[in-house]
Amino acid sequence: VTSKPFWLKVWWFIAQFLTFVFTRPTPMSEEEDTGHLYGYGDPSLRSKLHEIVDQRLVDVSGAKAAVPESEVRQQSAFFVKEFGAPLSLVECLEAAGKSPWGLALAAEFKRASPSKGDINVGIDAAVQALEYTKAGACVLSVLTEPKWFKGSLADLREVRVKTQQWSEAKGLSRPACLRKDFVVDEYQVLEAVAHGADTVLLMVSILSRSRLDALVAFSRELGLEPLVEVVTVRELRIALAAGARVIGVNNRNLHTFELDKGRTSQVSRELAVSHLGSGVKLLALSGLSTAEDVHECRSLCCSGVLVGEALMRAADPASFILNLMGCSSPGRAPVLVKVCGVVRTDDALCAVAAGANLIGVIFATSKRQASVAQARDVVDAVRRFGERASAIKAPERQEDFTSRCGLLQKTCNRSPLVVGVFLDQHLEEVVEHASATGIDAIQLHGAETTDFVKDLRRHLPDVWIMKVLHIPTGDQASDYSALQAQIESYCEVCDALLMDTAVGSASGGTGCIFDWEVARRVQEEWGVPVIVAGGLSADNVANLVTSIKPLGVDVASGVEDAPGHKNAQKTESFVRNAKAGTSTERA
């Protein structure tokens, strides 16, 4: 065999050298690598997310010292040998896209969060995940961060094992398991595989571009297709440059905790323009809680939605999922729960965290009367919880009464509202207090006429207005003709009606129950949805909800230790039993 001429060898080496010089990637500058990170160029800008990431770096260092990487690799190999290799996230999403839902549901397990505190601390991860799996979730997102989310790798393993066992017994494909955490090191990806994850979350907002590239590559070496999270269009471009195949849009900025559901739309438009036909899968990751939210994501051609907090608070996760995905049989939305007579922000936050939809602050003379300052504090706390900066406007007046009630129900299920309660007070006083505190709704608890309501509407066109109907006890409650005429007149001008017990001259807060047959007749025979108050407690509210099926329930003294001082345990039990009553009714 003849050897190549010397000059040919020289030219070959020159060609290789020139190829290396001109094709090697240009090292990124510091600004190119980390300029997208919050606080770049200004170290004084610190957020809760920085604190969490710093803690996770410490945690990883401690984990490496306790369990060497080589041992975690062995654990990963043992797990894969026993339970099988990771699923393809892309294939799971594609299969879900062919289902009747038309997109994937990623159902999340998290016991707590930095923005909302405890959500459902005592719940078992595997039990909850099985509920999600049986209802049709194709991805199970498990928070494994221990300090702020109260999760663990043990949760992830239990979820994977138990849902796989159930799926195999039923002859079904198992859901993919996502390790949702603040992944900053390859060691955490190894841990994920060792505990059953099929994918991991990589957040562009906490990773330099070089670290993102490295973690994407490492994940794929282990058979995982990562879910790359973005918040902005700039982060989307970084994710695409890293070769991300599955991108999730976090509608919540974790540096500021600001929620903006429009982010998914913005990223979707940019993806369509810049990466059309790429096959990149897009998921909406947060702030979703209603069928309307999911429908909007379908219209944006999302491949899936991730739902967490709403599912963790749901009394019946399976029913919630079916309603959320728009494929359930017709049924009532969860009953609205109003906790009234709140003067302390802690009580308000306890109520909304438990799932209350309406928080009542009383401006009328009462043993539960709130000052303007107290009401303002309650409004601010409820807005922060609902991740909004302003009042939620009432609809325009074209809709009929039943439709307005439905809109109120949908609105309250998205974000709790604050209701100011007034009793025969001057119009100017009502307007002044509403404007000064920023309440979302007004409840008129006295003998206010329809003309008063019309005048109030002219002054405050964007505020929801509710009117209380006082129902006497005993034989006095049987004058249905007068009640019907009263209801018909108020339906023309109000957004909701509330029925409360009248005892003598007392207007509410009596702790007495009126005949619920009156409410049943108003709803079933006259077709008027009502909120029921009067003598309710955790002991009787489920019976009311299942038997009468009201639009909502209202409690004050039934969850108190003293007037204006709510008992957290009683409040949580009341809300839970009320919501469970709706679930029982569906079943």
Residue 82 has pLDDT above 80, yes or no: yes
Q: pTM of this prediction? A: 0.78
Q: Where are the domains of the chain?
A: 45-325, 338-579
Buried b (16+ CB within 10 A) or exposed e, 70-102: eebeebbeebbeeeeebbbbbebbeebbeeebb
Q: What is the pLDDT of residue 329?
A: 46
45-325 and 338-579 have identical folds = yes
Query: Which CATH topology does 338-579 take?
Result: TIM Barrel (3.20.20)
Q: What is the pLDDT of residue 286?
A: 84
Considering only 73-87, 210-224, 235-249, 399-413, which range has the smallest mean pLDDT?
A: 399-413
Closest CA to 88 of 219, 239, 230, 268: 219
Q: What is the pLDDT of residue 1?
A: 43
Range with the largest mean pLDDT of 170-179, 244-253, 402-411: 170-179
Residues 317-372: tens digit of each pLDDT: 998 898 888 754 445 678 999 999 999 999 999 999 888 999 999 999 999 999 99
Q: What is the pLDDT of residue 330?
A: 45
Q: What is the CATH number of domain 45-325?
A: 3.20.20.70
Residue 587 has pLDDT above 50, yes or no: no
Burial of 562 (0-12, 13-18, 19+ CB in 10 A): exposed
Q: What is the pLDDT of residue 276?
A: 53
Average pLDDT for the chain: 90
Residue 150 has pLDDT above 90, yes or no: yes
Residues 249-307: tens digit of each pLDDT: 998 888 877 778 789 999 998 888 876 547 899 999 988 888 888 988 998 889 999 99
- Averaged pLDDT, 155-173: 97
Residue 63 has pLDDT above 50, yes or no: yes
Considering only 223-232, 247-256, 389-398, 506-515, which range has the smallest mean pLDDT?
A: 506-515
Give me the helices (H) in 67-105, please: 69-83, 89-97
Q: What is the pLDDT of residue 507?
A: 61
| Cβ pair 267, 204 in contact under 8 A | no
Backbone φ, ψ for residue 468 (5° rounding): -90, 135
Instruction: Reduce the DSSP state of residue 91 to 3 states and report it.
Output: helix
